[in-house]
Structure 1
Amino acid sequence: MNRTETIYDNVSHVNYGFHDEEQRPPPYAPSSGVNPALSQFPAPPNTQHLPQNPHVLYPSQRYSPAHSLPHYTPQPALINTHHTVTPTIYLDTNPVNKVSRRKKWPYIVGTVVTLLVIAGVVVAVLWFYGLFACLQGRMCEADKKCVSVSLWCDGTVDCPSGEDEAQCYRLYGPNFLLQKYSNVSANWKNVCSDGFNDNLAKQACAEIGYKDTYSGYQGILSPSLDFISACQSSTAVSLKCTDCGRSTGNRIVGGTTVTSKGVWPWQVSLHYSGRHLCGGSIITPYWILTAAHCVHQFSNPGGWTVYAGYLTQSEMASASGNSVNRIVIHDFNPNTNENDIALMRLNTALTISTNIRPVCLPNKGMSFTAQQDCYVTGWGALFSGGSSSATLQEAKIQLIDSTICNSRPVYNGLITDTMICAGKLAGGVDSCQGDSGGPLVTNVRSLWWLLGDTSWGDGCAVRNKPGVYGNVTYFLDWIYQQMRKY
C-alpha cells in the first residue's frame, strides 16, 4: 500500500501484489471505445511474501523483467518414414477389367460396410453438434431429450441436476430488490411481498447462492414496479441474504494506518506456509474472495490460513486463524492476467461481529462511474519493492475511465472487460506488493460494495500507471455459481 506523495516516473517492475516483487508480462486486449462510462458489467458479446523456504518456489521467484510472452518458432515439417506406395505393386490404367465376377462381391460388401461406417460417423458428429448447440442454447438433456428453454424457471425441475431452476432469482440495485426470471415474458420482474415470508426468503437466498446465510427482508412500496405476478400492495421484496457492507469503526480522514478493527471488517490476511501472501474479502461467513494469481501456483487448500478481524501481522502470529476447505479458481490466464479472481471456502464459518463482517457484492443494475471515490486496503509494501506493512493500511483513490486507462500513455489497450482501473494518474497513492486479492470498495447509500480485487500494475504509485483490479461485477454470475455448487 503505497501512500507516499513522491511520484515515480521510472517503472522498475510490474506489481502483482505479492510480498516480494512480482514480475509478470502485462496483458493484451483490444482498446475500448470512446469515453464509455466505467461500468461494472461485461460488454455485449459482439462489442468488444512468502516464507523464506529454499525448497518452495514462490510466484515472486518465477518472473523477472526479462520475461516476455512466449514466441512461436516455426518447425520444419516432419519427414514421413512410412512408405505410402509399396514398390512391388504396380498401378494399372484399367483395373476394373482385371477383376473377375466372383471377386466383385467382397469389393461390393466392403464398399457398403465402408459407407455404413461413414454414415454412422456423420450421424454421431451431427448428434454431438446438436447436443452441444442444445447446451449452448441454455438447454439441458433430460430423459435423452433436450428441454425447451420455455421450461426454464417455470417452477418445475426438468433437468437432472436442477439447472433449469437454479438461476431464476437475482438481487437488483442498491435496494436489494428480489427479482425472478419470467419464462413467459423472457425478462426479470420484481417479486411482490404479498404472501412472502421468511421460508420463501431463505429459499430465494439459497437459489441465488447464499446457502448458509439469511439476514431478512422488507417491503418497498413502488406502484411503478413491474411484478412477476399481480401485486395488490404494490410492495416489492427487498431481500438481504447477508448483513453486509456495514462499517462500525472510526476512520481518520486522510489517514493511512487503520487504527480501528471495525473500519474494514471484511478485510482478511491470507497466509501461506505461515506468512502473509495476499489479502482477501469476506463475502459470506464461509467464502473469501481473492485474486487467482495468489493461488494459481498454490492451489492446495491445506497450505492456507485465513485471518479475519486483525489489524497487525503480530496479532496473527499468535492466533489460530481459519483453515481452507476448497479453492476455486476462475479460468485464469497467468500471461494476460485475464479472469484474475478466485474463491476460498472455509472449513468452519467465521463468527460475524463488529470486527468481522461481509462486504456487499454489487447487485445487477449497479454501475460505477469514473472519478468515484473508493478505498483499497491491505498489508502491502509501503513503497515499490519494499517489505510488507506490519499494520493494515488504507488508501483513498478514484475509479479511472476505461478509455483513459487504455490510452497510449497509460496501459495502451491492455485493460479488458474483466479489469477496472483505480488510483491517481499523477501517482503517489496506489496498492503494492502484498495487497493482491484485497478489496477495492466504494460507499453507496451507507453500505460498502466490493468493486474489485487487487490484481496488477506497473510498479507502485507510478505516474500514469494506476492499479488494475479484477472487475467483481463482471464475475458476479460465476461467483454465485460456485457458491451454489460447493
Structure 2
Amino acid sequence: MEDRQTDAPPLYDSVVNQNTSPPSYPSLQVLSATQIQSYYIPQPIPQMPAPCVVETISTQRRHVRTYRSKRCCFGGLGGSAFLVVLLIIAAWLGVRYGSSLWTLSGKDKETDICPPSSVNCDGKRDCSLGSDESRCVRFGTANELQVMTSKAGSFLPVCAQGWSKNIADQTCQQLGFRQSYAVDVLKSNSSVFQSMNNQFSNTIQGSVNISLSCPLQQTVSLRCCDCGRPPVSTRIIGGDMAAEGQWPWQASLHFRGHHTCGGTLVAPDFIITAAHCFSQEKSDYLLPSNWKVYIGMVSQLKLPSLYNVKKITIHENYDPDTKNNDIALLILNRPVSNVQPACLPVFGQTFSPGSKCWTTGFGVTREGDDSGSIILMQVAVGLIDLVVCNKPAVYNGLITENMQCAGDLIGGKDSCQGDSGGPLVCKADDRWYLTGVTSWGDGCGKINRPGIYSNVGRLLTWIHGKMQQERQ
C-alpha cells in the first residue's frame, strides 16, 4: 500500500532477493491473460518499519514464471543429478505424506466418491467427503436461515415455530461454527416454508419438512457468531497505520518464520486467504506444519500466541494463470478465542460500485521495496464496476465474475506485495463484511490498474460447503 509510484517496479510474484535484479517490467498498454500475476508472492517477505501511507496492490504472471524457470533450470550432468535428487525426494514425500499433500494442494487425491444412489440434501451423508450435504444451508437478508431439502429442491425460509437454542447450536455447528450467537424472528413474505419435524437429526435439512403455513409468517434469523464489530472505532481519514483492535480479524500467515501472506478470521476455526499463497510448484508450501498463524496484532514485533494449521484446502477450480477462484481455507488446530471475526456476507448481499471499503496488510508500503511493513497498514479503496474494470484501457476482459475490482483508476490507493490473501471489508448495518480476498493486480497503485480481489460473495457456497465438510 502506498502513495508513490515508480517507473520500473518489480513483479510481485518474483522472489525477494536484494542481490538479484528484478525482471523487466512488461508494457502497460494492454495486458493479456499470460501477463497476470499475483500481487503477493508466496515467499517470505522481510519486515521493515513502515515509512508512510500504504496504498497499493499488484501482479503480472507469465513473466514471473519465466524468471523463476531461469533460476530453477540446471544444465548438463549437474542438472540431471539434481533432477534425480528431486525425483527421489518427491517419491519419499509421496510415501511419507500420501494423499494429504494432494488434499492440501486442492487437487484432491482424497476423491469425493458419490454412489449412484446418493441424494442431495436429504440429511444423510452418501458421498465419502459429504459434498451431497454440504450446500444445503444458507443465510438470506437479515440472516434469514434458508434450507434446501431433497424434496423442496430450492432454498426456503425456516419457520420459527418449534425452534430452540439447542437446534440453533446444532445448526451452527453443522455450518462449521462452535455454537449459535443470536436467534431472532423475521416476518416473511414467503408462501412456502421449511417447518421443524418431530425429531432433529444431525443436519437441519434432515430435520424439516415442506409446509404451506407458518404461524404469523415468522421465520428464523440466525447468527452463528458475533462478527464485524471491532472493539475500537474504525473512523479513519486516509491510508495509514492501523490502531490496535481496529481490524481484529486480520491474520498474518508465516511460512517458516516469516510473514508471507495475509488472511481473515471468519470463524473460530477458519481463516480465509488466497490460493496463490500456496505454491503448487513447491510441496513445502502445501505442508501445514510449515505455516504459523497470528491473529489480531498490528505489529510483527509484537506477535500474539501462534496457531498451527491443521489443514490447507484450496479451491479445486483455482486457475494459477488467470487467478480465477483464488481462495483457500485454513483449518486451525484449535479455536481462536477473544478475537472477533469478520462477517461473511449473506446470500445476495452486494455493495454497489463506489462504496468505500478497506483493505489491510503487512505488505510493502512502496512499490519496489524488498521489505514488508512491520506495522499493519490500512487504506480505503472504492469498489469498481466489473464492466469498467474490463475496459480495454483497464484490464481488457481479464476480470471474471469471481473477482472484485477495488482502488482508484487515477492510481495511488491499492494493496501490494505481501498483502496477498488479506481482507477487503465493507461496512453495512454497523458490521464489517469480508467482501474480497487480496489476489492480484498490475503494479501497485497505478493509473487504470486497480487491485483485484477474489469476490467472496460469489464464492460463498464453496466457503460454507468446505466449512461444513471440515466440521462433520
Common fold, TM-score beyond 0.5? yes
Query: Aligned runs of 1:387-406 on 2, under 5 Å?
Result: 387-406=371-390
User: Which residue, 314, 337, 361 being the options, matches 1:329?
Assistant: 314
CA distance in 1, matches of 2:68, 2:392: 20
User: Which residue, 136, 139, 142 being the options, matches 1:171?
Assistant: 139
User: Which residue, 247, 270, 275 being the options, matches 1:264?
Assistant: 247
Mapped contact 1:427–1:466 kept (Cα < 8 A): yes
Q: 1:194 aligned to 2:161?
A: yes
In structure 2, what is the equivalent of residue 135 of structure 1? none
CA distance in 2, matches of 1:197, 1:18: 54
CA-to-partner distance for each residue in 1:247-285, whole Å, 9 max, x for gaps? 221235214334432211110111111111111000111
User: Which residue, 271, 279, 282 being the options, matches 2:265?
Assistant: 282
- Residues 224 and 51 of structure 1: CA distance in aligned 2, closer, same or farther (over 3 Å): closer
User: Which residue, 307, 321, 324 being the options, matches 1:338?
Assistant: 324
- Residues 286 and 428 of structure 1: CA distance in aligned 2, closer, same or farther (over 3 Å): same
Per-residue deviation, 1:320: 4.1
In structure 2, what is the equivalent of residue 210 of structure 1? 176
SS, match of residue 267 in structure 2 = coil
SS, match of residue 362 in structure 1 = coil
Mapped contact 1:256–1:393 kept (Cα < 8 A): yes
Per-residue deviation, 1:380: 1.1
Deviates more, 1:470-479 or 1:269-278: 470-479
User: What is the letter of the counterpart of residue 159 of structure 1?
Assistant: D
SS, match of residue 239 in structure 2 = coil
In structure 2, what is the equivalent of residue 109 of structure 1? none
Deviates more, 1:381-390 or 1:222-231: 222-231
CA distance in 1, matches of 2:361, 2:236: 17
- Residues 22 and 340 of structure 1: CA distance in aligned 2, closer, same or farther (over 3 Å): farther
User: Which residue, 389, 409, 414 being the options, matches 2:393?
Assistant: 409
- Residues 263 and 158 of structure 1: CA distance in aligned 2, closer, same or farther (over 3 Å): closer
Query: Aligned runs of 1:2-151 on 2, under 5 Å?
Result: 2=2, 4=3, 6=4, 10=7, 12-15=9-12, 28=33, 50=44, 64=63, 67=66, 140-141=114-115, 146-147=117-118
Per-residue deviation, 1:27: 6.6
CA distance in 2, matches of 1:139, 1:273: 35
Mapped contact 2:9–2:25 kept (Cα < 8 A): no
Per-residue deviation, 1:418: 2.1
- Residues 288 and 158 of structure 1: CA distance in aligned 2, closer, same or farther (over 3 Å): closer
In structure 2, what is the equivalent of residue 299 of structure 1? 286
Q: 1:220 aligned to 2:186?
A: yes
- Residues 358 and 222 of structure 1: CA distance in aligned 2, closer, same or farther (over 3 Å): same
CA distance in 2, matches of 1:481, 1:19: 36
CA distance in 2, matches of 1:22, 1:217: 55
CA-to-partner distance for each residue in 1:91-129, whole Å, 9 max, x for gaps? xxxxxxxxxxxxxxxxxxxxxxxxxxxxxxxxxxxxxxx
CA-to-partner distance for each residue in 1:145-182, whole Å, 9 max, x for gaps? 535x6xx4455x27365654443321112x11001115
Per-residue deviation, 1:369: 2.1
CA-to-partner distance for each residue in 1:367-401, whole Å, 9 max, x for gaps? 22211111000111111011211111110011111
Percent of aligned pairs with the same amino acid: 38
Query: Aligned runs of 1:462-481 on 2, under 5 Å?
Result: 462-481=446-465
Deviates more, 1:179-188 or 1:440-449: 179-188
CA distance in 2, matches of 1:192, 1:22: 60
CA distance in 2, matches of 1:421, 1:22: 26
SS, match of residue 388 in structure 2 = helix
Mapped contact 1:292–1:340 kept (Cα < 8 A): yes
Mapped contact 2:14–2:68 kept (Cα < 8 A): no
User: What is the letter of the counterpart of residue 237 of structure 1?
Assistant: V
- Residues 401 and 235 of structure 1: CA distance in aligned 2, closer, same or farther (over 3 Å): same
In structure 2, what is the equivalent of residue 313 of structure 1? 300
SS, match of residue 315 in structure 1 = coil
User: What is the letter of the counterpart of residue 305 of structure 1?
Assistant: K
In structure 1, what is the equivalent of residue 357 of structure 2? 374
- Residues 28 and 63 of structure 1: CA distance in aligned 2, closer, same or farther (over 3 Å): closer
Give the alignment's TM-score, normalised by structure 2: 0.72
SS, match of residue 383 in structure 1 = coil
SS, match of residue 261 in structure 1 = coil
- Residues 385 and 236 of structure 1: CA distance in aligned 2, closer, same or farther (over 3 Å): same
CA distance in 2, matches of 1:361, 1:287: 12
CA distance in 2, matches of 1:437, 1:17: 17
User: What is the letter of the counterpart of residue 283 of structure 1?
Assistant: V
Per-residue deviation, 1:68: 9.0
SS, match of residue 205 in structure 1 = helix
What's the Cα RMSD here?
3.1
Give the alignment's TM-score, normalised by structure 1: 0.70
Mapped contact 1:17–1:278 kept (Cα < 8 A): no
Mapped contact 1:23–1:63 kept (Cα < 8 A): no
CA distance in 1, matches of 2:342, 2:271: 10
Mapped contact 2:421–2:437 kept (Cα < 8 A): yes
CA-to-partner distance for each residue in 1:209-252, whole Å, 9 max, x for gaps? 22434212111234567533321132111101121111221235
CA distance in 1, matches of 2:23, 2:146: 43
Mapped contact 1:16–1:456 kept (Cα < 8 A): no
**How many residues are matched?**
375
Query: Unaligned stretches of 5+ in structure 2?
Result: 35-42, 47-58, 70-111, 195-210
